[in-house]
Amino acid sequence: MTAVPRHILAAYAAPAFSQALIHGPVNTVIQGIYGKYFSMPLASIAMVLVVARVFDGVTDPLIGYLSDRYRTRFGRRKPWLLLGSLLAVLACWKLYVPPEAVTVPYFLGWFLLAYFGWTLSEIPYRAWMAEISEDFHQRTRLAIWRTFARYLGFIAFYGIPFLPVFATSEFTPETLRFTAWLAAIALPTTALAACWVVPTEADAAGPDAEGCSPAPGRAWRAVWANGPLRTLLATYAVGGLATGSAFGAVFFFVDGYLQLGATLALLFVLGSPVGALCMPAWGALALRIGKQRTWALAYALSALFMLLHLLIPQGPAGEVWLIVCFLLVFAVSSVGVVVPASMLADIVDYGRWRFGQDYAGTYYSVQTMVEKAVEGLGVAMGLAVAGWFGFDPTVPLEDAGARLGLFLAFPILPAVLTLATVPVILKLPITERRHRAIKRRLERRMGPRPEYDKE
């Protein structure tokens, strides 16, 4: 088995750090900041999130298809990564440094532009992984490095409130401003490093299967007819609702119910290294028992650990237990990033064999579209459920109905939906043995692709 050199792994993973840094506020904080500090109603925030995700759902496959179709002297993926990174810097500055009298149209407009910038850069970036190496296990290694960088980005974001320049360790508009400054430096820098160091897909992975650009209708037929891809998308559809509801409500659960808002940043600062450090163990387990079983086991444990949050007492007495529960969730959460990314690269090979064309960008765009859309719906669902039962983040949480609504948004619905993905994961058909057979058939048809030398 040939190994991708470490300097290639590091350069490819670097943009994931910046992307996680700039995504940090959107994942867990921005809805709380806009609701608590800018008095934006939960219904309006939920509406913006849904509209943004629908917009994302339209642009994702378009960018994926275009990155498959058009090749430049710098490759198919690199120009998109650079352009999208620059656009994301501009949009996120406006989103994270809003005026005092922020309005819903302002929030929505810059949210849409931020998502468009992320789409331009991140979908081609994800598809790039399938072209760096064909090896079943090297792709897991690439995903581990990328996920490790992603965790470092989260650590950087969640560590910002602990800097001595801030008066409190809570997330505030001032911490968002600092995030915008940091992202403005990190995003273009890491994108340039990846484009400079990592070979283009033509050098690393050879030409397209048929040496021609895919037609739109044919690309979409290849998506629909790809059974393993449909099964993988089903896991994202169900699991994304769980993730969205959890991310959307965790700020309010920790700050409003447990009264431990000052601990929220610490949870992610401690949890992200735990998730990163557990990745080699999960990778070794995937090598031993297979990617599907490892992923299913991690999700079953994640559901259990989320439900443990219901047992945490309110106030300072619950701080240690909250940290323990979060660390347990983070210990298993990295599997849901590493394994699916690796498996999707294997599905790209299946598509190349089945349809005679490389649709990596299209496949990754559809996966990203489903992931983003359902996570946005999950956030809206969680906020809507909490609001339906009377939860209001601007008043003390004393009503039993409001408390039940918050509990449903986090952690009950996320745990139930996470557990529901387990049987779907176990149905994913491409094992290591089947992937070897796919590679043999591709090599008989096209010849072997060049691989990197061993380190």
pLDDT in tens, 122-140: 888 988 888 888 787 888 8
Average pLDDT of the residues in 369-387: 83
Phi, psi of 75 (to 5 degrees): 100, 180
Split at pLDDT 50, 70, 90, the class of 253 is very high
Distance CA 387, CA 341 (A): 34
198, two tokens = 């990592």
| Whether pLDDT at 453 is above 50 | no
Mean pLDDT of 239-260: 90
Handedness of CA 437, 443, 444, 446 (dihedral sign): positive
Q: In sequence order, which residues have a C-beta less than 8 Å from that of residue 328 and are 6 or more positions away?
A: 301, 305, 308
Mean of pLDDT values over 228-235: 94
Amino acid in the structure at residue 185: I
Give the residue with greater pLDDT, 184 vs 375.
184
Q: What confidence tens digit (pLDDT) does each residue in 301-312 have?
A: 999 999 999 999
Q: What is the mean pLDDT of residues 194-210?
A: 62
Using alpha carbons only, how large is the chain's radius of gyration in Å? 21
Looking at domain 6-199+211-446, its CATH superfamily turns out to be MFS general substrate transporter like domains (1.20.1250.20)
Q: 230 or 338: whose pLDDT is higher?
A: 230
pLDDT in tens, 274-300: 988 888 888 889 889 999 999 999 999
195 vs 318: CA distance, rounded Å: 46
**Residue type at 307 in one-letter notation:** L
Q: Which of 13-17, 223-227, 238-242, 306-310 has the lowest mean pLDDT?
A: 223-227
Neighbours of 330 (CB within 10 A): 24
Q: 3-state SS string over 127-180?
A: HHHHHHCCCHHHHHHHHHHHHHHHHHHHHHHHHHHHCCCCCCCCCCHHHHHHHH
The pLDDT score that the predictor gives to residue 260 is 92
Look up residue 338 and give its amino acid: V
Q: What is the mean pLDDT of residues 377-382?
A: 86
**What counts of helices (H) and strands (E) characterise the chain?**
19, 0
pLDDT at 207 (0 to 100):
42
**CB contact at 8 A, 34 and 176:** no
Query: 18: which DSSP letter?
Result: H
Secondary-structure percent of the chain, ordered helix, strand, coil, rounded to 5: 80, 0, 20
